[in-house]
Amino acid sequence: MVIPDGYALLEKISETPSAQVWTAQSATGQAVVLKTAADVRQVQKRFERELLAMVATANRHVMPILDYDSSHSWYGMPRASRALSEMDVPCSVSECLDVLEAVAIGLGPLHAQDQVHRDLKPQNILWLESAQGARWVVADFGIVRNPLGLTASKLTHAGGLTGSAGWAAPEQYTDAHDATVSADVYSLGAIASWLLTGQPPSYGHVQMPSDPRLGAAIRRATRPRGSDRFASLDQFVNAFTKATKPFVGTFEALIHQGEWAEVSAYVLGQPAEHARLVRALAKLSQSDVNRWAAGDSAGMVDAVTDLLGEVPAMSYSDMDSFLSWCVSVLRVLTNANQLEPAERIATVLFATTASVDQFVPARAILDWLSVLPRRPGEAMERALHSSESWEFFQERARDKFEKHTDTALIAKLRET
């Protein structure tokens, strides 16, 4: 370990195979924290990347760098009062929002350069009191990913976790070198969940708060696929902030204005209005559904899946119209080759249709199944089996179809 000239080491705070962190005193008597790199080439390369990222993206909500050497083997920083991990949780919504805003501002310059922190967690968000005021700052940029194509050496590897278990996005468990800004969005969503519920995340799972609108924002931030999350930390913070305020306008107005992310959030955040929303959605045209899918496909899937749980309590006429309308959702998803979310909705739709034993939506579903190409047909076959509705639709397929109209799926349904 290199001991920086002019500093007296006082107490070791932590040690890992790659670095040591000490409290220290400078020659002028200033109390600081020093972080020193282990004498290993790969570790020193990573340490240099960490230091340069913090210097290049310095702002009010990034831990300040007070001093460092030209070899990038150590750096000094002020001592924080505490880590976010020491905060009492659950906390208030306003306290949670303060953290989210600070992290979004802190990492804004990093993300603007197509760099990714990859290790956001409560231990790396610190409360700093200084002449510039008390605030939350982001620290420990040790596994920052440089812009794709500009990394001098690949310091991560496929098949192992890069980041911290639970807080890391699912893709960081496989090949974190390809992680994008959406990985940091996931981690901040997991932090928001923990702050509001007190429950730490586990792999691919975060606890939703009791407020359904806040839950809708966190749910989108922590979706399994990066492309289904918010595109930036700012978008997540904006959605979270909106969720703390009343909706502006009616549900129908949101649809008319094409505010599709807000349409999804309204469904997910207003469970008391589900009966009315079901009737409103059943009137949407295929073109409307196409636009919703284009604007917020993952939110649409979440919203429709939630509403399907309300079907048994509906009137028969509402059942028929809504269940039949869900076929238009499946149509746009399969046409876009989004077979996984289509299968997810179909599993619930098929099971619900069979449980309420409604002829009209069953016929609409079979009409659609009868024209499906092979790959979507295979996905729907899996949904029929996993929903335990195969026999229900099999009986109706035998009555409805002639052999010359059979697709592969319909032929299987017609088998005795």
Does the pLDDT of residue 7 top 60, yes or no?
yes
Condensed to tens digits (0 to 9), the pLDDT of residues 181-231 reads 999 999 999 999 999 999 999 998 999 999 989 999 999 999 999 988 999
CB 291 within 8 Å of CB 260? yes
The mean per-residue pLDDT over the stretch 92-99 comes to 98
Q: How crowded is the C-beta side of 347, counted as CA atoms within 13 Å?
A: 15
Integer angstrom CA distances of residue 275 from 282, 318, 321, 361 = 11, 9, 13, 18
pLDDT reported for residue 416: 58
| 159, pLDDT greater than 60 | no
Confidence of residue 267 (pLDDT cuts 50, 70, 90): very high
Distance separating alpha carbons of residues 366 and 77, to the nearest angstrom: 66
Fold that domain 7-77 belongs to in CATH: Phosphorylase Kinase; domain 1 (3.30.200)
**384, pLDDT greater than 90:** yes
Dihedral sign from CA coordinates of 41, 47, 51, 53: positive
Mean pLDDT of 333-353: 96
* pLDDT bracket for residue 402 (50, 70, 90): low
Q: Is the peptide bond before 90 cis (omega within 30 degrees of 0)?
A: yes
Tell me whether the CATH fold assigned to 7-77 matches the one assigned to 82-242: no
Task: Kindly report, residue by residue over 49-84, the tens digit of the pLDDT.
Answer: 888 888 888 999 999 999 988 888 889 999 999 999
Say whether 361 sits in a helix, a strand or coil. Answer: helix
User: Over 70: is that where the pLDDT of 34 sits?
Assistant: yes
Higher pLDDT among residues 48 and 12, named by residue: 12
- Per the prediction, the chain carries an average pLDDT of 90
All structural domains of the chain with their residue ranges: 7-77, 82-242, 273-414
pLDDT over 80 (residue 163): no
For residues 199 and 122, is the Cβ–Cβ distance under 8 A?
no
CB atoms within 10 A of CB 121: 23
**Are 194 and 186 a contacting pair, CB within 8 Å?**
no
Three-class DSSP category at 198 = coil
Span 82-242 CATH architecture: Orthogonal Bundle (1.10)
The pLDDT-based confidence of 247 (bands split at 50, 70, 90) is: confident
Place 291 in a pLDDT band, splitting at 50, 70 and 90. Answer: very high
User: What pLDDT score does 399 carry?
Assistant: 74
- Weakest-pLDDT range from 15-29, 33-47, 310-324: 33-47
> How many whole angstroms separate alpha carbon 323 and alpha carbon 232?
34
Residue 248 DSSP label: S
Q: What is the largest CA-CA distance in the chain?
A: 91
pTM here is 0.83
CA 357/CA 375 separation, integer angstroms: 27
